[in-house]
């Protein structure tokens, strides 16, 4: 009896955690923390790190929950997403909506009470772009949703930076730019693989609207553009040689893997998709290492 209750409880907790897209939250936090180190050129105050990352993490989690609330009809149609907590019935839509609103409210309170108004503004903008601009306004209407939705995903380093400084600056724009250019190719590899799924669900992703070849061309162009952009932190004097050579090697491998995807007849590029995640995590971690050493 007790064992059964514990198992049910564990499943409920697991479903709510899944709803927050924890893998994405983790990477968002790494990039936000990098923004904080950039502002300080060293170790930021531990309590500030704690509150700022908590506020940013809750915003990312809450936005992901609301994204799945509003997308529950299309998620139910696609094979990749039909087992998510809402379409599978393990979390009700009302509870998901409530959960998302609670997470975003907590985030707003924490950012305002323990961080500062400028960082709060960018956190609200990140959630607004993910939930309202990307999910509600664009995702079902235009393939441009991917690029414009990228504004949300590129804001965490700006949130981190402004959490420390209380004012905007040019430097976090470099990290914003890296993330902004990184996101479309990160997604298009999956969009190619699941083109039929997206077509069935009526989501006009780039492969659905322009075809696989055009998407592969743009994936290659974005990854090529990412190469010089990833080197900007050193060219701008933020980081040193260690970052430069690591970024060079990581970007070169990214370009080679993308070229392989481009010339391959297959539409499966899962190794490239996983590499995109490892790429960003390593790039930002090495940036921090090179700033504090």
Q: What is the binding site for ligand HEM (CB under 6 A)?
A: 21, 23-24, 27-28, 31, 80, 146, 149-150, 153, 183, 186-187, 190, 277
- Residue 173 or residue 245: which is nearer to ligand HEM going by CB? 173
Q: Which does 130 bind (CB under 5 to 8 A by kind): ligand FPP, ligand HEM, none?
A: ligand FPP
Residue 225, judged by CB atoms within 10 A of its CB (0-12, 13-18, 19+), counts as: middle
67 is a site residue for ligand FPP (CB under 6 A): yes
Which residues are within 8 A (CB) of 227 and not within 5 positions of it... i.e. 6 or more apart? 251, 252, 254, 255
Q: Which does 126 bind (CB under 5 to 8 A by kind): ligand HEM, ligand FPP, none?
A: ligand FPP
120 is a site residue for ligand FPP (CB under 6 A): no
Between the two ends of the chain, the Cα-to-Cα distance in Å is 55
Question: What's the token pair of residue 112?
Answer: 């305002």
6-30 burial: b if 16+ Cβ within 10 Å, else e = eeeeeeeeebbebbbbeeebebbbb
163 is a site residue for ligand FPP (CB under 6 A): no
CB of 117 to ligand FPP, least distance (A): 16
Q: How far apart are CA 214 and CA 191, in angstroms?
A: 12
Half-sphere exposure of 107 (CA within 13 A, CB side): 26
> Does residue 21 come out as left (phi exceeding 0), alpha (psi in the -120 to 50 range) or beta?
left
> Does residue 237 come out as left (phi exceeding 0), alpha (psi in the -120 to 50 range) or beta?
left
- Residue 53 or residue 190: which is nearer to ligand HEM going by CB? 190
Q: How far apart are CA 257 and CA 280, in angstroms?
A: 15
Q: Which does 59 bind (CB under 5 to 8 A by kind): ligand FPP, ligand HEM, none?
A: ligand FPP
Applying CB under 6 A, the site for ligand FPP has a residue count of: 17
User: What are the backbone angles phi and psi of residue 112, rounded to the nearest 5°?
Assistant: -70, -45
Which single residue brings its beta carbon nearest to ligand FPP?
Answer: 149
Q: How far apart are CA 156 and CA 33, in angstroms?
A: 8
Of residues 121-140, which lie at the interface with ligand FPP (CB under 6 A)? Answer: 123, 126-127, 130, 134
Q: How far apart are CA 246 and CA 83, in angstroms?
A: 38
CB of 240 to ligand FPP, least distance (A): 29
Q: Which does 288 bind (CB under 5 to 8 A by kind): ligand HEM, ligand FPP, none?
A: none
Q: Which does 110 bind (CB under 5 to 8 A by kind): ligand FPP, ligand HEM, none?
A: none
Scanning 146-154, 213-221, 244-252, 266-274 for contacts with ligand FPP by CB under 6 A, the matching segment is 146-154
Largest CA distance in the chain: 63
Scanning 92-100, 152-160, 226-234, 245-253 for contacts with ligand FPP by CB under 6 A, the matching segment is 152-160
71 is a site residue for ligand FPP (CB under 6 A): yes
- Residue 27 or residue 255: which is nearer to ligand FPP going by CB? 27
- Give contact residues for ligand FPP (rule: CB under 6 A): 24, 28, 56, 59-60, 63, 67, 71, 123, 126-127, 130, 134, 149, 152-153, 156
């Amino acid at each position: 009896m007790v064992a059964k209750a514990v198992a049910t409880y564990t499943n409920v907790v697991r479903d709510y955690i899944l709803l927050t897209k924890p893998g994405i939250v983790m990477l968002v936090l790494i990039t936000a923390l990098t923004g904080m180190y950039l502002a300080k050129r060293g170790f930021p105050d531990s309590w500030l790190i704690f509150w700022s990352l908590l506020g940013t993490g809750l915003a990312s989690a809450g936005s992901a929950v609301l994204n799945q609330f509003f997308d529950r009809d299309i998620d139910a149609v696609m094979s990749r997403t039909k087992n998510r907590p809402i379409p599978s019935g393990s979390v009700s839509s009302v509870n998901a909506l409530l959960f998302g609103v609670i997470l975003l409210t907590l985030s707003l309170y924490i950012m305002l009470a323990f961080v500062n108004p400028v960082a709060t503004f960018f956190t609200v903008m990140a959630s607004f772009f993910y939930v309202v601009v990307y999910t509600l306004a664009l995702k079902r209407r235009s393939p441009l949703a991917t690029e414009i939705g990228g504004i949300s995903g590129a804001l965490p380093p700006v949130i981190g930076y402004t959490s420390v400084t209380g004012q905007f600056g040019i430097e976090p724009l470099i990290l914003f730019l890296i993330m902004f250019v990184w996101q479309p190719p990160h997604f298009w590899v999956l969009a190619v693989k699941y083109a039929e799924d997206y077509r069935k669900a009526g989501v006009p992703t780039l492969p659905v609207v322009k075809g696989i070849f055009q998407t592969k061309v743009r994936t290659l162009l974005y990854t090529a553009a990412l190469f010089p952009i990833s080197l900007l932190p050193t060219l701008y004097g933020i980081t040193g040689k260690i970052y430069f050579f690591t970024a060079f090697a990581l970007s070169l491998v990214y370009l080679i893997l993308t070229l392989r995807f481009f010339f391959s007849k297959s539409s499966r590029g899962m190794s490239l998709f996983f590499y995109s995640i490892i790429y960003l995590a390593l790039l930002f971690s090495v940036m921090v290492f090179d700033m504090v050493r």
